[in-house]
Structure 1
Amino acid sequence: MSGNQRRAVVVGAGIGGLTAAVALHRRGWQVTVCERAPELTAVGAGIVLAPNALRAFDIIGFDVTRAAGSASPAALGLRRPDGRWLQRADTGAMTARYGTPPLAVHRAALTEALAAELPEGAIRYGAAVDDAEATGDRPVVRTASGEFTADLVVAADGIHSPLRRRYFPAHPGLRYSGETAWRAVLPADGPAPAAAAETWGRGERFGVVPLADGRVYVYATAVAPEGYRPADLHAELLRRYGTWHGPIPALLDRLDPAAVLQHDLHDLAAPLPRYHHGRIAWLGDAAHAMTPNLGQGGCQAIEDAVVLAHVLDGTEVTGIPAALTAYSAARCARTNALRVRSRRAGRIAAVTHPLAVATRDFAVRATPARTTRRAMDDLFGGMNGVPVAHVGSTGAAR
């Protein structure tokens, strides 16, 4: 190993952190990932990778369908609780417009595949980061099991990021969206839905996403007080969604309440002024936590990671602070706009008044599909910070 090899410590082994680690490793960095969990986990159950995230993976030569086993097309249509379609998904049109449809994968498969791209021992499990000192030429990351000195620290430490609080103490932090969410993956022991869809009711939503291996990713949201936790989860879900169109009742019958994850939905109350401090760079939820209404939280973390590796590519150690300034410039405006857009979309989807629901549903039905697709162009079609020329004909990075 060269004594001049650049060294990075990535704080957090989520999808964004692991993508950053893989991207940097493939550009010659020595990477250490510090993860507080004792082993690789897959909180979140499933994830839908939009075309922009798949393009980002292509740039670093990571093939999702090869590495993660199997992936299923997951363009979402919209329905009412009685089953009537508000808007049907057109997988073919999305493929023609963006090169690929969204793909659904299990988070465990994706994180395991990303971890497998790193050298043995690169991920240090059970290494919760107590602090990262950014002063001086080489940051120091402190954990209970020891210190790591590096040229770069990537703060991918999640929505409650301790490093964000440490370096942006005046930031107001998180705000509650007004909704709570439940998520689970059902085993492949029953009929699989024909297509992915999200159903909108009055202050309630239910999503169904078939996975390629026969399992089904389901999620639900409801307007509820922050911290609300039902005493009987299964009864709660049946009360809210049990009379909705098929196959939702049958899927609820297959649900194991112990396997359901519940999280209140938050986003950042205000944008961060920048995504770097000295030689520390923030990405994903740590930088721009957003609600899941656009399905872009994980996708933007993947974009962050690929852009970060790109601006650092070929940079001498002394040039890292300037490269991180370029990273902030490339990412802040896009991710902040999506954070605001996602919150606004959630407000529309979560309306409860019958007149507001009827108006919303009419507007969705009346909007031509081509108009909806054009509205997604800036979301799915672009990724600031990496020139298109860096994607070759095979999708691998040049």
Structure 2
Amino acid sequence: MAQVPRAVVVGGGLGGLTAAVALHRRGWRVTVLERARALEPVGAGISLAPNSLRALDVIGLGDEIRELAAWQGDGGLRTPSGRWLMRTSTAAMGERFGGPLVVLHRATLIDKLAAQLPEGAVRTAAAASLTDPGDPGDVGRPARVGTPDGELEAELVVGADGIHSAVRRTLFPEHGGPVYSGFTTWRVVIPVPGAAFASHETWGRGRIWGTHPLKDGRIYAYAAAIAPAGGRAPDDERAELVRLFGDWHEPIPAVIAAARPEDVLRHDVHHIAEPLPAFHRCRVALLGDAAHAMPPTLGQGGNQAIEDAVVLSGRSDPEGPDLAAYTADRKPRTTAIGRKAVGVARLNMMRSRPGILLRNATVAVVSKAGPGLFLRSFDGIADWRPPQPPYASDRAHTRETPA
């Protein structure tokens, strides 16, 4: 093995950049290959739960992100008419899980991660292909990655190239890959002058909507609805939102009215229904959506990618990574969370009127028992702690009111 071990990360998203930063801190020489011409993430927000914030503590970014993000305050779950089914509490989450749920723009986190890497470590407009997974038992056979500028050799390759991962297809060509989850999503990040509201998610019949304020004054909103795969609005996606959600409670119509057609992003949702046999092969490890894409209904897709990255770095000693241990650490956890997300998606997208009445009544009963009963559904998820100690402070990140 080379004196300074080399790692190539394929994909410059949240998981790939977190892995690059974590490996760099452990003494690896890291190259990130991003197919796009710039690190310009999809213009949407992301919720970070206490589990991923603790993972970011390990690379020294947790406290900075907590300060930059909006803490999700008191809000809850509503019906399309505006009736509250359940109230949530920042204080209750902090007390149960040792930290907040925060929301920020993906671009903010991408920028902060990229700034932790040496100059030149990130190469954009660099389509990559895995040409040889290498042999961990043969010091003289590193993995090889093809790029437009030639081939790179590495003692570790990290496949963080998303749900349609080419690295995954190379490692596991027999695997069926992702399947359509049955619904599509819309997302916007925009200013909405005069809007005043509590963070909320609203469940309708085969449709949901969520609205959350960002710390910079903009609003992050998302919607989802059952739809055929590959469908598109006959005119534009903003008009589609008006048709689907325009008669729901405020601030939903105000958010839609403030959006321009070009502000609205639409993406079909896919997930990996059949788990991969492993998250590694030879000198290559997969993480995030490349390994275990899941529906966004638990808000854990990006969170689990960040977890993956920090755990992988902990298993990647410069003398030689233990990728079998990484698979053993991550596959059971992400498989269970992915299956739970699929179950929640079925609940969110329910279309049967009797089923919806029962669902809403059950949620209301649970709400009357207090936020603790609802928060139990995140036990084993939001309370996760990284195996290695953080570089940042390990204090309990709780407070009564959001920043």
Letter in 1 for 2:86: Q
Say if 2:200 is the partner of 1:194. Answer: no
Cross-structure match for 2:398? none
| CA RMSD, 1 decimal | 1.8
Residue 250 of structure 1, aligned match among 250, 254, 260: 254
**Is the deviation greater in 148-157 or in 191-200?**
191-200
Shift of 1:33: 0.1
Inter-CA distance 393–120: structure 2 relative to 1 (3 Å threshold): closer
Cross-structure match for 1:274? 278
Aligned 8 A contact 1:61 1:395 in 2:
no
Residue aligned with 1:380, SS: coil
Aligned 8 A contact 2:143 2:154 in 1:
yes
Distance 1:371 1:300 in 2: 23
Cross-structure match for 1:378? 380
Residue aligned with 2:381, SS: helix
Residue 164 of structure 1, aligned match among 145, 164, 168: 168
Deviations 1:76-101 (A, max 9, x none): 61110011111111111111222221
Inter-CA distance 87–331: structure 2 relative to 1 (3 Å threshold): same
Q: Residues 136-147 of structure 1: matches in 2 within 5 Å?
A: 136=135, 137-147=141-151
Distance 2:241 2:149 in 1: 42
Letter in 1 for 2:155: D
Cross-structure match for 1:337? 336
Inter-CA distance 395–59: structure 2 relative to 1 (3 Å threshold): farther
**Is the deviation greater in 327-336 or in 38-47?**
38-47
Cross-structure match for 2:10? 11
Residue aligned with 1:88, SS: strand
Aligned 8 A contact 1:178 1:265 in 2:
yes
Deviations 1:46-86 (A, max 9, x none): 1000110101111222135x369721012661110011111
Shift of 1:193: 3.7
Distance 2:196 2:222 in 1: 14
Cross-structure match for 1:73? 71
Q: Which one scores higher on RCO, CA 8 angstroms, separation ≥ 6?
A: 2
Letter in 2 for 1:204: R
Residue aligned with 2:15, SS: helix
Distance 1:177 1:249 in 2: 27
Shift of 1:374: 2.0
Distance 1:16 1:258 in 2: 27
Instruction: Give identity over the alignment, percent.
Output: 49
Cross-structure match for 2:312? 308
Distance 1:38 1:4 in 2: 32
Inter-CA distance 133–16: structure 2 relative to 1 (3 Å threshold): same
* Number of residues of Structure 1 aligned to a counterpart in Structure 2: 385
Letter in 2 for 1:241: F
Distance 2:205 2:184 in 1: 14
Shift of 1:373: 1.4
Say if 2:289 is the partner of 1:285. Answer: yes
**Is the deviation greater in 251-260 or in 212-221?**
251-260
Residue aligned with 2:152, SS: strand
Cross-structure match for 1:63? 62
Shift of 1:192: 4.1
Distance 1:197 1:228 in 2: 27
Letter in 2 for 1:99: G
Inter-CA distance 68–101: structure 2 relative to 1 (3 Å threshold): closer
Q: Which runs of 4+ in 1 moved over 3 A?
A: none
Gaps (5+ residues) in structure 2?
136-140, 396-403
Cross-structure match for 1:228? 231
Q: Residues 75-114 of structure 1: matches in 2 within 5 Å?
A: 77-114=76-113
TM-score (norm 1): 0.93
Deviations 1:224-243 (A, max 9, x none): 11111012222211111111
Q: Residues 18-33 of structure 1: matches in 2 within 5 Å?
A: 18-33=17-32
Deviations 1:146-198 (A, max 9, x none): 211111000000000011111111111111111000011013x5134432111
Aligned 8 A contact 1:19 1:305 in 2:
yes
Residue aligned with 1:219, SS: strand
